Structure 1
Amino acid sequence: MFRLVLLSLLVAAVAAGPPVAKSRADIEEYKQALEKTREEDELTLEDRMETNPQANAWENSGKFEGDIYLDDDIMEALVDSYSTGDDSRMAYIRANSRWPGNTVVYEFGHNEFTLEQQRHIIQSINMLQQATCVRFRMRNNNDRNFVRLTGRPTGCYASVGFYQNRGVHTMNLARNRPGQGCFNTIIIIHEWYHVLGFFHMQSTYNRYNYVRIHWENIQRGMAHNFYHYNQNIVSNLRLPYEYGSCMHYGTHFFSHNGRPTISTTRHYGGVLGQTVRVTGWDVWRLARHYNCPGAWSAEAVHKARTTNYEMIEDGTLVEKEGFNPLADELDLIEEEDQE
């Protein structure tokens, strides 16, 4: 997981990646794939879960990278970058991509959620406010830019980062019982992380030190979900790559044959794509992104290593002691053993 410094994707192809040269047919296929993620089809999250029950809810939400809602300007930027292969053309850094005053403004759509569901969403907000300097407040009539929370049955997805000209920022959570589906507390926080300016962990520039992408196992038309960002575009905030992050893809996301689409290059005994905890590193990344007091101090590393916010049976989060190993501290898997 890494800070959104600007909106761009698609670096030059790497070994075992898609071809560098792009034909008109390639570009049109890519554009259509992105357009499809923006369409409101008749499929609900429940329909997709019946077809692909092994997927988690945000992977199965039918949007870009599973759960990212694309605006027109991002859509055009992605197609342009893909067409030219020139990442520098996409490097339009926006200093205001963080929410002004470290405060997310939001509203619940009219009659979208029950009071119980609203309380569950607010619980995720309270956890982020407790752990960081990020704040949330309800929209008033003078607020032009805000997040509208909706409960359409299509899935869990959100806009990424704050944009002054966007107006209504999107966050959708298909209605469910607290703790279930999109109302899994970790999934709600995952979507808040997008709103706050984060993409997915495995999309960062140095990912090939830590994961392999198995392009041959990815569903046709879904390879764009696995491209990654260049170093001049994103920042890891000088924090380590983390397999256990709540923002990491799972091993079988978008697989067409039941085989892994992502594997680790190091011996890791945990779960990729977990939805049971927010790790101390996750919290620290958010604190650094918003320049919270103490976020750049050496003392913060201890809490990042030893603290998790874990979801218990009723869907609430409890702060617990734990151990969060860094990927760099794990032994490399020998190349012949990765096949």
Structure 2
Amino acid sequence: MTAMDQIIEANEYEAASITEGTTLREGDIAVSNRMGSKTCFARSCLWSKSVDGHVYIAYTLSPEYNELDEKTIMKGMELIEEDTCVRFVPRTHQRDYLDIQPKSGCWSYLGVRGGRQALSMQTPDCMSSGVAAHELMHALGFVHEQSRADRDNYVTIKWSNIWKDRLRNFEKFKTNNLDTPYDYGSLMHFGMYAYSEDGDPTVVPKTSWSVQMGQGYGPSRLDKFKINQLYKCG
């Protein structure tokens, strides 16, 4: 399963729910509908960078998690930290921070919102380091790979095969692609059968059907390169 396959399964069958006035876009990106709320969808709201060149993201973990859950989430953090300037640190006094909770489903807001920021990792349904890294990449400011404005050059969306009430999850946006090539192997890419109504493919690569789209292991080489580009890691 790709990370997104696992997320879809958790969110659809566990009826993912978030706070009132907030909806999920693309299946796992929380977007607030409240007046005056900070909106970062399809554009970047970046975490601040330290003078030492690192981007420190403070977090808290719910006491409801057991030791194995904590290790899984922290492994997802380590996967992002490797070869990037991002560092996840336990919160002490920081104003902006991720509050990671076992709410219903797997989801995250996009980019930094300011203050306490919820990120849901339901246990056990969302518990894999790949899913943790996927949601953390949303928190860093990344949408799904097949949402890129140029995605039609690389994949075909089979609209007739998608659940009718999930068509909106396949929109594309005017994204900042950071001058990077399309990444079929991105941790942020939907799998071939995402939201399939009848078991037929919903996302088909234009290069070859043998191309693996999405995965569940962690950020790809290009994912990490994009993190470094977005945050000017040097």
In which range does the TM-score fall when normalised by the shorter chain?
A: 0.7 to 0.9
| Residue 218, structure 1, aligned to residue 162, structure 2 | yes
Over residues 271-302 of structure 1, what are the superposed CA-to-partner deviations in whole Å (9 max), with x where a residue is unaligned?
A: 22321343211111111111112xxxxxxxxx
Amino acid at match of 2:123: R
> Where does structure 2 lack aligned partners over 5 or more consecutive residues?
13-23, 50-54
Cα distance 1:76–1:190, how it changes in 2: closer, same or farther (>3 A)? Answer: same
Partner of 1:198: 142
Hey, what's the Cα distance between the residues in 1 that align with 2:157 and 2:133?
A: 26
Q: Shift in Å at residue 135 of structure 1?
A: 1.5
Partner of 1:71: 32
Greater relative contact order (Cα < 8 A, sep 6+): 2
Hey, what's the Cα distance between the residues in 2 that align with 1:242 and 1:98?
A: 22
| Residue 227, structure 1, aligned to residue 171, structure 2 | yes
How well do the aligned residues superpose, as a CA RMSD in angstroms?
Answer: 2.6
| Residue 103, structure 1, aligned to residue 52, structure 2 | no
Hey, what's the Cα distance between the residues in 2 that align with 1:77 and 1:163?
A: 6
Over residues 296-323 of structure 1, what are the superposed CA-to-partner deviations in whole Å (9 max), with x where a residue is unaligned?
A: xxxxxxxxxxxxxxxxxxxxxxxxxxxx
Q: 2:186 aligns with which of 226, 235, 245?
A: 245
What are the equivalent positions in structure 2 for 1:261-300 lying under 5 Å apart? 261-293=202-234
Amino acid at match of 2:108: A
Hey, what's the Cα distance between the residues in 2 that align with 1:74 and 1:218?
A: 32
Q: Shift in Å at residue 203 of structure 1?
A: 0.3
| Residue 158, structure 1, aligned to residue 108, structure 2 | yes
Amino acid at match of 2:33: D
Hey, what's the Cα distance between the residues in 2 that align with 1:92 and 1:251?
A: 22
Aligned residues: 214
Partner of 1:319: none
TM-score by length of 2: 0.82
Give identity over the alignment, percent. 27
Over residues 84-114 of structure 1, what are the superposed CA-to-partner deviations in whole Å (9 max), with x where a residue is unaligned?
A: xxxxxx99967xx1111222111112x2211
> Where does structure 1 lack aligned partners over 5 or more consecutive residues?
1-54, 79-89, 294-339
Cα distance 1:269–1:159, how it changes in 2: closer, same or farther (>3 A)? Answer: same
Cα distance 1:223–1:76, how it changes in 2: closer, same or farther (>3 A)? Answer: farther
Contact 1:106 1:147 in 2 (8 A): yes
Higher helix share: 1
